[in-house]
Structure formats: structure tokens, C-alpha cells
Amino acid sequence: MSSIDAVEQDNTFNIAKVRQDFPILDQKVKGKPLIYLDNAATTQKPQIVIDAISQFYNMNNANVHRGAHTLSDNATELFENARSKVQGFINAKHAHEIVWTRGTTEAINTIASGLAQSFLKPGDEIIISAMEHHANIVPWQVAAKRSGAKLVVAPINEKGELNFSIYKTLLNKNTAVVAMTHVSNTLGTINQVKEIVQFAQQVNAITVIDGAQAIGHGFVDVQDLNCDFYVFSGHKLFGPTGIGVLYGKEVQLEQLPPFQTGGEMIKTVTFQQATWNELPYKFEAGTPNIAGAIGLAAAIDYVNSIDRVGAIAHEQRLTNYCSELANSMDDIHIYGTAENKTAIFSFLMGDAHPSDVGTLLNQQGIAVRTGHHCTMPLMNELGISGTVRASFSMYNTEEEVAMLFAALTKVRTFL
């Protein structure tokens, strides 16, 4: 994933056309035009995604697999085609390496629970970083307690970057798992994931990459990264909520026990025992989020239809412009100044409480997020309780960034 090399190649990205594809952006909040800067929490949905979900329920609603009727066949074809589209989007080797989940959180829990049951043992070590989301901390805490393993935290530097030299010293013969984020949801830091994986493999550690924040901001190639697992949520890729992806190398998924049991994920059942279904259905107990998968496929179609290189370059310009304006205000303190970062601007304004700043921005039609952003340990490391976070996507404009800072100037007069 890179947002640097793409900048000089941008020549066809049409921001006006892209904005027209997202109907929610054409509205007012508190009498002001909506400026949506909460994309790290969830992205908005293009009309093509909304239509795909509606069409499924209007024309093809049925349960998938084993149906003996046309609607079920149609639903199954759409559902499995969606899996294949995800495979192509992240360049997985096989479609059966794509497992549907409810989101990143369930995907990480599936991996952590399975490894605690089948792989981790007393004395093993699980390495995470200090910038992780709770979803990539708590499941590993639970897995460590269940297995007797130890959780080890790799530190970050003052810019919010992984301290790579220390990370390398933490790797040893006891390192069983390395689980790290691709992009920090609070700091915007883009981690050197390929290098993280390479060094972890030198000690035969299993690698798990949280791609929730990365998937909507660049190109992800899991074969190039060579990680064992990569997970993300559909709603951060302009798709619907409640659908997520667990990518795992075939060999890892074959060895991993299922997280949930019940229907669909079984091959045979007697009152004495059960055997598991083949991949990927072994991990997909119960009726899946069929409409969610179809909606995610439509989101991938949409992203593939635009100038993705231009979109990355556009977001980089927004990030640079935001930093420029922030640095011109003496009372703005930025958290996350990594050399390689994506479109997340986390900050405090003087002594103002983040929630007060967020409320006053909302009065001006600007949607941001405030608080600890599900990174409480990171906040403790930074010595603060929370920040204001403005996060951009490809449909945001430089004018909106300027309006954010004009609004912050106005907020200053109330605080």
C-alpha cells in the first residue's frame, strides 16, 4: 500500500463526478452543507451499492447453497461471485481463502480463538504494537490467558511510527504470532507491513494484519505482503455494515479450528460427533449476510471503476493541505506525524475538551469523531484521554479541509 508513488501520476481523477455518486453528501446538517470527515469510522455508500442491496431483496432474496429453486441459485451465484471479487481485489491465490465475517473484529476473534485452541502454548509470545485498535488487542489478551502465552507490545516513536529496531529485537524463538495494524485508525500511520511480515517469518511466527483502515485508501496485495492472515470490514470500503473479510492462506485455514459451530459449517453430524465442511464454509456457520456480501461486491466494482491511483493522490493532497493549515495554528497539536501516513488528522485544540470541539463543529455541519477511538492504551502512551479526529476519503475536497479550519477558528472564539 502506497500513497506516495501515486501522487505524480494523478491526471484523471474527477472529484465532482465521484461526489455525485454518493447521495448522502447532498444534504444539510444544522442548516449547513454536510462536510463528512468521519471516514475512519465508516465510509459513505455510492448509489451502486445501495441499488445492489435493494435489488437483491427485491428480486433474488433467498438463502444460499443447497436450495432446489431458482431464487436460491441466483442468490448463491451472487454470493459466491462476491467472494471471487474480493479474491481479485486483494489478489488472494484462491477464492476459498476468503471467509465472510461480520467485520474486522469477528475476523480477528476467529483467528485468535482458533490459535489459542490449536496452536498457542505456555511460553509463547504474541507481539502487537502500541498503536493497535482494541479489536487487535483484546482478542489476543483473551487468547494469551487461555493458552498461557504472553502478550508483548512493540513501542512507537514520537511521530507515531512503529519503532522498527525495537520490534526486531522483540522477535525470538518464542514469538508465535505477530498481529499488527496496516494503518493506525488514530494516527494515520502506514506501517511497513511487508517488512514486519518478513522479519516475523524469520522466527516462524504467524502473521495477522488488521487492514480495516488500509483497505479503502490504497492497493492491498496479500500475496505480495505474504502475511498469513489479512482482515478488513466492508463498511470502510464503501460497502455495507455487518460484512467483513478474513483472508487466510489455505494451509493456515485448514489447520485453524472454527470459531462458531452450527449449520452450513458441517459436513456430517451425528448425536456423537460432527465433521467440518471444506473451506471456506468451515468458518461460516449459520445463514450469512448475503446482502452484505453482494453490497461489498458492488463497492469493489465501484472502486475498480474509478481512477484509484488518482484517488490515492487526491487523498494525499488533502492530508498535506490539512497538515499545512494545522501547522499555521499555534493552538493545534497534531498526534501522528509519520513520514508515511494516510488521510487521518488527530488533534487537540489548546485546552479544549475534544467533545466540546466536536459538538461545535457539528453545529457548523462538520462531522468528526472525538474520544479515544478504541485505542485507549495508545492514549495512555500519549498521556491524553482522547483527540478530535477528522478523517478524509476520496470524495472530500480541499474546500472542505479549508472549511474545517475556518470552523476551528470560529470554535476558538467559544472556548
Active site residues: 374
Contacts of 296 (CB under 8 A, 6+ apart): 82, 86, 234, 237, 239, 240, 243, 245
Whether residue 258 is preceded by a cis peptide bond, meaning omega within 30 degrees of 0, is no
Q: Which amino acid is at 364?
A: Q
Answer for the pair 383, 348: CB distance below 8 angstroms, yes or no. Answer: no
Query: What does DSSP assign to residue 60?
Result: I
Query: What does DSSP assign to residue 231?
Result: E
Q: Which amino acid is at 110?
A: T
The C-alpha atoms of residue 78 and residue 94 are separated, in whole angstroms, by: 18
Sign of CA dihedral 74, 76, 79, 85: negative
Query: What does DSSP assign to residue 258?
Result: P
Residue 388, strand partner residues: 347, 370
Phi, psi angle pair for 88, to nearest 5°? -65, -35
DSSP string, 279-294: TTGGG--SS--HHHHH
Answer for the pair 287, 305: CB distance below 8 angstroms, yes or no. Answer: no
Dihedral angle, C-alpha 320, 325, 393, 231, nearest 10 °: 70
Distances (CA, A) of 189 to 2, 161, 181, 243, 327: 12, 6, 9, 25, 18
Sign of CA dihedral 361, 338, 167, 245: positive
Least Cα distance to 47 among 376, 295, 352 occurs for 295
Q: Which helix (H) or strand (E) holds 246?
A: strand 244-248
Answer for the pair 107, 244: CB distance below 8 angstroms, yes or no. Answer: yes
Least Cα distance to 76 among 290, 313, 364, 235 occurs for 290
